[in-house]
Chains A and B, each alone.
Chain A
Amino acid sequence: MTRPGLQQKILIYLLLAIVLIVFLTPIYLIASSSVKPSPIMFQRPPAFFFTPTLEHYQDLFGMRPFGKFILNSLIVALGSTAFSLTIGSLAAYAISRIRHKRMNDVAFWILSMRMFPPIAVVVPYYIIFKATGLLDTPFALIIVYSTANIPLTVWLMKGFFDEVPTALEEAAAVDGYGLLATFWRVTLPLAAPGLAVSAVFCFIFSWNEFLFALMLTGSNAQTATVAVMSFWSSDAVQWGRIMAGSFIILIPGVIFVLTCQRWLVRGLTMGSVK
Chain B
Amino acid sequence: MAYIRKRNRRIFLIFLLPAMLVLFLTTIYPMIYAGYLSFRSYDLAKLFVPRVFVGWSNYAEVIGSSEFIHSLITTFKLMAMTLSVQLVLGVGIALIVTQKLPGMPLARTLLMIPMMISPVIVGLVWLFLYFPELGYLNYFLSFLGIESIPWITSTNWALWAIAIADIWQWTPFVMMGTAAALQSLSPEPYEAAMIDGNSRWDVFTRVTLPQLKPVLVSLMFLRAIDAFKIYDIIFVLTKGGPGDSTEVLSMFIYRQSFTFWRMGVGAAASFVSLVIIVVLITLFFKSLQREQHA
Contact = CB atoms under 8 A, between A and B. Distances in A.
Nearest to A106: B16
Contact of A19 (B37, B111, B229): B111
Given A26-B129, A112-B281, A120-B273, A250 B22 contact: no
Nearest to B109: A261
Nearest to A229: B120
Nearest to A119: B250
A94 B16 contact: yes
B219 A272 contact: yes
Interface in A215-272: 215, 225, 228-229, 232, 239, 242-243, 246, 249-250, 253-254, 256-258, 261, 264-265, 268-272
B59 interface: no
Contacts of A27: 113-114, 117, 125
Interface stretch (B61-69, B79-87, B146-154, B263-271): B263-271
B125 A264 contact: no
Contact of A253 (B118, B177, B215, B291): B118
A45 B100 CA distance: 37
A133 interface: no
A63 interface: no
Nearest to B121: A246
Interface stretch (A50-58, A191-199, A202-210): A202-210
Nearest to B139: A44
Contacts of A269: 173, 176-177, 180, 218-219, 222
Contact of B136 (A29, A118, A229): A29
A20 to B, nearest CB: 6
A93 interface: yes
B225 A123 contact: no
A39 interface: no
B290 to A, nearest CB: 11
Interface in B236-294: 236, 249-250, 253-254, 257-258, 263, 266-267, 270-271, 273-274, 277, 280-281, 285, 288, 291
B192 interface: no
Contacts of B108: 261
A127 interface: yes
A48 to B, nearest CB: 13
Contacts of B53: none
Contacts of A209: 118
Contacts of B173: 268-269
Interface residues of A, number: 98
Nearest to B176: A265
B29 to A, nearest CB: 8
A186 interface: no
B52 interface: no
Interface residues of B, number: 103
Contacts of A176: none
A254 B113 contact: yes
A99 B5 contact: yes
Contacts of B13: 94
B5 A90 contact: no
B157 interface: no
Interface string A11-32: 0110110011011101101100
Contact of A117 (B15, B101, B258, B273): B273
A23 B172 contact: yes
B256 to A, nearest CB: 9
A229 B236 contact: yes
A120 B271 contact: yes
B189 to A, nearest CB: 11
14 contacts: A29-B129, A97-B8, A117-B270, A118-B231, A119-B250, A120-B270, A126-B257, A127-B263, A146-B26, A179-B4, A228-B120, A249-B118, A250-B117, A257-B109
Interface of B: 1, 3-5, 7-9, 11-13, 15-16, 18-20, 22-23, 26-27, 29-31, 33-34, 37, 93, 96-97, 99-101, 103-104, 107-122, 124-129, 134-136, 139, 168, 171-173, 176-177, 180-181, 184, 187, 190, 194, 200, 215, 218-219, 221-222, 225, 228-229, 231-232, 235-236, 249-250, 253-254, 257-258, 263, 266-267, 270-271, 273-274, 277, 280-281, 285, 288, 291
Given A42-B136, A98-B9, 18 more contacts: A12-B99, A16-B96, A16-B104, A20-B107, A29-B125, A90-B18, A110-B23, A119-B273, A123-B34, A127-B37, A144-B26, A146-B26, A225-B118, A225-B121, A243-B125, A268-B177, A270-B218, A273-B177
Interface of A: 1-4, 9, 12-13, 15-16, 19-20, 22-24, 26-27, 29-30, 33, 42, 44-46, 87-88, 90-91, 93-95, 97-99, 106, 108, 110, 112-113, 115-128, 143-144, 146-147, 150-151, 154, 166, 169-170, 173, 179-180, 204, 207-211, 214-215, 225, 228-229, 232, 239, 242-243, 246, 249-250, 253-254, 256-258, 261, 264-265, 268-274
